[in-house]
A = this chain, B = another copy of it.
Amino acid sequence: MAVEERSETGRVTRGREVADIRLERVTKRFDDVVAVDDVSLAIERGSFFALLGPSGCGKTTTLRMIGGFEEPTGGAIFLGDADVTGLPPYKRDVNTVFQSYALFPHLSIFENVAFGLRRRGQRGDPLKRRVEEMLELVALPGLGKRKPGQLSGGQQQRVALARALVNSPQVLLLDEPLGALDLKLRKQMQLELKRIQNDVGITFVHVTHDQEEAMTMADQIAVMNAGRIEQLGSPDELYERPRTAFVASFLGASNLLRGRAAGEGVVRLEDGTEVRVPAAALAGRTGPVAVGIRPEKIRLAAGESNMLEGVIAERSYIGVSTQYIAQTGTGSITVYAQNTDHGPSGLAAGDRVTLSWSPESTFVVDALEEERR
């Protein structure tokens, strides 16, 4: 797999010529709260980078330090090759799309978008052309005269985007820019954001607590937890090879089964079942561990080398797929079966099944106390 070599945490030394943003051991403390804790990070030029994590984990704080709205308590921040640690926001070639959009309510849409250009001394026709170009890019031509209050949420969001993009910044920071939109609009804006990033080709740093959003949009995701980066990598890497239980459960559903390492590539579960895992995944671990399998990787039939017997406890139809919950010797296991055929298919509650999955679909994380609720 091409995945392994791409991920690298801790001090990033490689690829300095393409690293657009670099955080070196950045810490931010508010009185007694450590909001960001010794984070190092490199973000490639032109990439779509997502910061993902639960509420309060320090995503916004990290972004604000990049933008210059907060000063780090420790560490340094580089944009390109320049150390910008002490620089005020208006001296950084970075623009931000705020969660609440922060459109200037007293200015027209045109003037909102023109704001940054005007501050940099642009005037007259070039300015006008540039702003209109940008309003076209975000599919809002002709609305320049309105005030922000007269636009819908989705439109406001696009104005915020245009206002930031029009300055052709080196980096665009987005703090949960879709948080306030409803599901449908959100999906639509996700596509649009992605399209725009493709078009303009600048670096996007996108903060979100929605793993689906992060996975569909980003090239690289950093999963944060309690001020630290738990894992950094591409979406599939994080999804398929989560390194911690936190990452595993934060990115979609997963079945985590307690067990103990029992030799090369084998984990013995609590009920004695042996599960084969990729040798690399277990690498060096001994003692209690947990093995994880994504619900969609499990077949409701024998056939793969890992197997468990169980009884269907619950079945629910969710359109694209049907979700089964099977009671097994090591606890309940969730399985998704895609509804490739018409009508409710196959098994019903009470049926006995054999669940099977391949060792390659299995990952291993440190054993944890149950984390429920």
Contacts and interface: CB of A to CB of B under 8 A. Distances in A.
Interface stretch (A88-96, A106-114, A317-325): A317-325
Contact of A340 (B299, B318, B341, B373): B299
Nearest to A361: B342
Contact of A342 (B216, B338, B342, B360): B360
Interface of A: 1, 3, 54-55, 139, 182-184, 188, 209-212, 215-216, 235-236, 239-240, 251-252, 294-297, 299, 316-321, 323, 336, 338-344, 358, 360-361, 373
Contacts of A252: 319-320
B297 A341 contact: yes
A137 to B, nearest CB: 15
A324 to B, nearest CB: 13
**Copies of this chain per assembly:** 2
Given A3-B343, A183-B211, 18 more contacts: A139-B373, A183-B212, A188-B373, A215-B317, A215-B318, A236-B343, A236-B344, A251-B319, A294-B319, A294-B320, A294-B339, A296-B338, A320-B336, A336-B338, A340-B361, A341-B361, A342-B360, A342-B361
Nearest to A336: B320
A338 B321 contact: yes
22 contacts: A3-B343, A54-B184, A182-B209, A182-B210, A211-B319, A215-B318, A235-B317, A236-B343, A239-B317, A239-B319, A252-B320, A294-B319, A296-B320, A296-B321, A296-B339, A297-B339, A320-B321, A336-B338, A340-B361, A341-B360, A342-B358, A342-B361
